[in-house]
Amino acid sequence: MVNTPDGPLIVQSDKTLLLEVDHPMAAECRQAIAPFAELERSPEHVHTYRLTPLGLWNARAAGHDAEQVVDALVRFSRYAVPHALLVDVADTMDRYGRLTLEQDPVHGLVLRTTDRAVLEEVTRSKKVAPMLGTRLDADTVQAFPSERGRLKQALLKVGWPAEDLAGYVDGEAHAIELAQDGWTLRDYQSLAVDGFWHGGSGVVVLPCGAGKTLVGAAAMARAGATTLILVTNTVSGRQWKDELVKRTSLTEDEIGEYSGEKKEIKPVTIATYQIMTTKRKGEYAHLELFGARDWGLVVYDEVHLLPAPVFRMTADLQSRRRLGLTATLVREDGREGDVFSLIGPKRYDAPWKDIEQQGYIAPADCTEVRVTMTDNERLLYATGEPEDRYKYAATAHTKIAVVKKLVERHSDDQVLVIGAYLDQLEELGEALDMPVIQGSTKNAERQRLFDLFRTKQIPGLVVSKVANFSIDLPEATVAIQCSGTFGSRQEEAQRLGRVLRPKPDGRTAHFYTVVSRDTVDAEYAAHRQRFLAEQGYAYTIVDADDVLSA
């Protein structure tokens, strides 16, 4: 395959890829490179991607080989691709799988290699060696079963990721079947389950609204075993329970809730991350839940939010099948490598625009509205401490009138107004005459307000970050975000996801970000938008005065 002289991509020797956004082949190119390249910057005309070892190893684990990656780079590149880069891509991808973890019938867990020099290298590593036992032969060394997860972490860090072929215990059997009345798995959901099951453990990446819960239900049916499901909050856990009762043979009595409110352990148990990371006298008080039953499957919902203590707990669960579900593998703490090592590599990834074209998520228009702060607001911002400036810019009172105008523009739609600061949320709730849901809102009250929103008895809600994740509000067609968690790309993806459930009338969803210009608010907004730009969503930038005068 030769390069295309007028192609949309420039491949550089420093492993950066420059994509010309307005090129006719840009969308096709973006889709081709998305499985292995990470978007770094996304200004108006040229987007910058980067090739990283972890990105290439995730692609390798998901079934993409070096030939496919090289072909995509060469096919779309405007200029000849640097030969050294192509060699490096092939060599990097070839590192995955030269070491394998396997179960030996005599010696138990072993680390094997197809390249003796690699095994010699890692056995001499001070971080790896303590997790290994007796050298059995030139290609094999015993590994301590209790160190299976930590060994994979250590091997990844020294640049030799091991493919885990050691298998899994079946766990306690429990019959789970998918209900057959009126629905079937979509093709991409079936592919996701197959990819996960074939790999044994790993992560499925699907857009918000694309049915990750159903993928989880199908994986549970495939396992036919007791299952522990970890979720972000109690409301999300109850949505999981409702879906499982509706979509599977499970009854309510077979599904337990393990949260701050209840402590039920049943064949299928749904626990919150919060309860699992609760400490008493310096100890994790609920750690015994992991050993409470002989779990056959552990499901991690919103795996990109997995708290650090749960990583440590998961290191001891490597003989259990583990399924991570997420809309984005991006982690703001940089621990994507731990997800790869401990939950498993990416097994399936569906581009958002592909799912949109199939009609399973709504098309969306993304608009950034830039407001000019008043002189007093600008002075407060300019004289503020650096750590306070984002709050001053993000909560500028000037934004209120713009939000009101946007809500009026969409008076026939169900609207979510989203923010991160409680004072701002209260001010918005009063100005818009909308109920406010924030962290201290009781679960029963949250559920009542969500139900009123779903049944269109109220036209809108003002919500904090508690609504970022795992809240099913298919009626929402407009989201207006006023402030966020600094430059969090994952939060941006989740917030757009709140309005991507397909609409019965096929209407387009609208996602607005109201930003104070000439401040860190605008800088963070640009960073937040990177992930969505990678998925093919373009932001239109408009001036607040144009919105107010419309």
Number of domains present in the structure of the chain: 4
In a domain, 534, yes or no: yes
Do 69 and 115 lie in one domain? The reply is no
Rounded to 5 degrees, what are φ and ψ at 162?
Answer: -90, 140
In a domain, 457, yes or no: yes
Could you read off the pLDDT of 100-117 as tens digits, one per residue? 999 999 999 999 999 999
pLDDT band, residue 2 (cuts 50/70/90): low
Do 348 and 371 lie in one domain? The reply is no
What is the rounded CA–CA span in Å between residue 535 and residue 525?
Answer: 16
Which residues have a Cβ under 8 Å from the Cβ of 112 and sit 6 or more positions away? 99, 100, 101, 102, 139, 140
Q: What residue numbers bound the domain in which 367 lies? A: 362-549
Do 433 and 512 lie in one domain? The reply is yes
In the sheet that holds 9-11, the strands lie side by side as: 9-11, 16-20, 46-51, 37-41
In a domain, 172, yes or no: no
In a domain, 3, yes or no: no
Do 473 and 414 lie in one domain? The reply is yes
In a domain, 501, yes or no: yes
pLDDT band, residue 396 (cuts 50/70/90): very high
Provide the pLDDT for residue 469.
59
Could you read off the pLDDT of 266-276 as tens digits, one per residue? 999 999 988 98
Do 224 and 313 lie in one domain? The reply is yes
Find the mean pLDDT for residues 21-45.
Answer: 85
Do 318 and 235 lie in one domain? The reply is yes
pLDDT exceeds cutoff 90 at 471: no
Could you read off the pLDDT of 285-343 as tens digits, one per residue? 787 888 888 999 999 998 887 888 888 888 888 999 999 998 887 777 778 888 899 99
Do 348 and 489 lie in one domain? The reply is no
Do 61 and 144 lie in one domain? The reply is no
In a domain, 176, yes or no: no
Which residues have a Cβ under 8 Å from the Cβ of 375 and sit 6 or more positions away? none
In a domain, 503, yes or no: yes
Could you read off the pLDDT of 508-550 as tens digits, one per residue? 989 999 999 999 998 888 877 877 777 778 788 899 999 888 7
In a domain, 73, yes or no: yes
Do 211 and 63 lie in one domain? The reply is no
Provide the pLDDT for residue 1.
57
Could you read off the pLDDT of 398-447 as tens digits, one per residue? 999 999 999 999 999 999 999 989 999 999 999 999 999 988 888 889 88
More confident residue, 93 or 280: 93
To 10 degrees, what angle do helices 66-76 and 83-95 make?
160
3-state secondary structure 369-411: EEECCCHHHHHHHHHCCHHHHHHHHHCCCHHHHHHHHHHHHCC
pTM for the complete prediction? 0.82
What is the rounded CA–CA span in Å between residue 319 and residue 298?
Answer: 11
3-state secondary structure 500-529: CCCCCCCCCEEEEEEEECCCHHHHHHHHHC
State which of 46, 64, 95 marks the end of a domain.
95
